[in-house]
């Protein structure tokens, strides 16, 4: 009979993707079709008073981003022979860390990620200054011209999407499904390449590629060490939530 540790080790070594397959699965699902959807419906929906942020987060995420990534996961689950909603063998890092271990690892991630984003903020802002031409600016909910009601509405939409559903979906798909399947040919560079591909996949914010690539590494390595998605999900939710709260309070003053 196989014990939990044996089963865990088996789950930790799934069949690896090829380099081309890994790149495609990182970049093509999710954000790219969401961006295309946004650009297709933006002009019509803005006539009804919806901002860039609300269109992207509420409609783009709910109608395109989340369904696309979950459909990919369940497609591979069906190919494996799973039934129902089982993602066994597809989402690998599902070790159930205790509450206290989850908190400790999450705090460690935050302690490492926070300073990276703060230190690189001037670099991010400088890069963004060259993207005034970019066809989508999802930070427009923080525009000084936005009404207080619009800001409040966008705040709650952002909490439900960016600070909750997006971290859960991204951690299951990118860290649970793609990270353990990084091509063997990459060797020790696998986590770094995964981080870069994840950063590039955020086509709506290309100016954040450097800071995301570097800042995500602590979360990636903690996920690999603990073989659990829980610390990554908790810290991801907290980072996104804090960013939303700080940005919105700054505009409401």
User: How many helices (H) and strands (E) would you count in the chain?
Assistant: 13, 0
Among residues 88, 65, 64, 68, the alpha carbon closest in space to that of 78 is found at 88
pLDDT digits (tens, 9 = 90+) for 36-68: 888 888 888 878 777 777 777 788 899 999 999
Say whether 73 sits in a helix, a strand or coil. helix
Q: In the prediction, which pLDDT does 145 show?
A: 54
Q: Contact 45/140 with Cβ under 8 angstroms?
A: no
Measured CA to CA, the distance from residue 74 to residue 78 in angstroms comes to 6
pLDDT digits (tens, 9 = 90+) for 176-214: 999 999 999 999 999 999 999 999 999 888 999 999 999
Query: Per-domain residue ranges for the chain?
Result: 14-252
């Amino acid at each position: 009979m196989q014990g939990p540790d044996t089963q865990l080790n088996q789950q930790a070594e799934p069949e690896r993707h090829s380099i081309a397959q890994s790149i495609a699965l990182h970049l093509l699902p999710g954000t790219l079709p969401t961006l295309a959807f946004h650009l297709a419906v933006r002009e019509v929906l803005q006539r009804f008073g919806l901002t860039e942020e609300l269109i992207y987060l509420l409609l783009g995420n709910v109608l395109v981003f989340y369904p696309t990534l979950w459909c990919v996961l369940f497609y591979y689950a069906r190919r494996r022979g799973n039934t129902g909603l089982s993602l066994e063998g597809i989402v690998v890092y599902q070790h159930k860390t205790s509450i206290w271990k989850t908190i400790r690892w999450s705090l460690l991630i935050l302690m490492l990620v926070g300073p990276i984003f703060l230190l690189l903020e001037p670099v991010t802002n400088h890069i963004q200054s060259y993207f005034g031409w970019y066809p989508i600016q999802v930070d427009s909910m923080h525009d000084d011209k936005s009404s207080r009601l619009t800001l409040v509405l966008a705040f709650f939409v952002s909490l439900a999407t960016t600070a909750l559903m997006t971290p859960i979906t991204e951690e299951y798909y990118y860290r649970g499904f793609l990270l353990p399947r990084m091509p063997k040919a990459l060797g020790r560079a696998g986590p770094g390449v995964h981080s870069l591909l994840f950063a590039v996949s955020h086509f709506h914010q290309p100016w954040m590629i450097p800071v995301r690539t570097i800042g995500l590494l602590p979360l990636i390595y903690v996920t690999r060490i603990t073989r659990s998605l829980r610390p990554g999900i908790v810290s991801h939710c907290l980072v996104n939530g804090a960013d939303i709260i700080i940005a919105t309070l700054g505009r409401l003053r």
